[in-house]
Amino acid sequence: MGADENGENGGPGGYADEATIRRVLTGTGDTWAVVGLSNNADRAAYGVAGVLRRHGKRVVPVHPKAETVGGERGYATLADIPFPVDVVDVFVNASLAGPVADEAVRVGAKAVWFQLGVVDEAAFARTRAAGLDMVMDRCPAIELPRLERERQRAG
């Protein structure tokens, strides 16, 4: 699927334009709820959470077990988090991702990020229609270092 006239849907490897990716990573806020994050170091969410923390993000685990990860208390759902969340990063099966995006809208998040392989075009459309930024089928652990390299090259 090619990009729409605004460059917002379906560019190679993702469903967001460069400006949206940059805005979510550098300007939206530093509190990220990572849905699917547990203490299992073998899971992708665990590694990505480490990258987010190294880039100054507060990483809040959201998992049915509500485990503490990286010193941050976990919550079973987004609605259980007692403080504002800027970005909801979704590490669940694509069939479960839409309801998570809907919950992100309800709790007042500013942006939703669906990880690599997590694609739900209807959820993308609903989330954007609700006024949130959304990135889909991309990984912040790839995009943050890329933006950092670009910044360094620019001087």
What are 73's two structure tokens? 């208390």
pLDDT at 27 > cutoff 60: yes
Which CATH number belongs to the domain containing residue 29 in this structure? 3.40.50.720
On whether residue 144 sits in a domain, the answer given is yes
Confidence of residue 154 (pLDDT cuts 50, 70, 90): confident
The total of structural domains in the chain comes to 1
Dump the DSSP string for 49-113: HHHHHHTT-EEEEE-TT---BTTB--BSSGGG-SS--SEEEE-S-HHHHHHHHHHHHHTT-SEEE
pLDDT value, residue 137? 93
Q: What is the extent of the structural domain holding 144?
A: 18-154
pLDDT value, residue 15? 77
pLDDT value, residue 11? 42
On whether residue 52 sits in a domain, the answer given is yes
On whether residue 5 sits in a domain, the answer given is no
On whether residue 87 sits in a domain, the answer given is yes
E strand or H helix at 133 = strand 133-135
Confidence of residue 4 (pLDDT cuts 50, 70, 90): very low
**Tens digit of each residue's pLDDT (9 = 90 or more) over 38-78:** 999 999 999 999 999 999 999 999 999 999 999 999 999 99
pTM of the predicted protein model: 0.89
> Nearest to residue 142, comparing CAs of 102, 89, 97, 98?
89
pLDDT at 138 > cutoff 50: yes
Other CB atoms within 10 A of residue 47 CB:
13
pLDDT at 22 > cutoff 90: yes
**Tens digit of each residue's pLDDT (9 = 90 or more) over 64-121:** 999 999 999 999 999 999 999 999 999 999 999 999 999 999 999 999 999 999 999 9
On whether residue 7 sits in a domain, the answer given is no
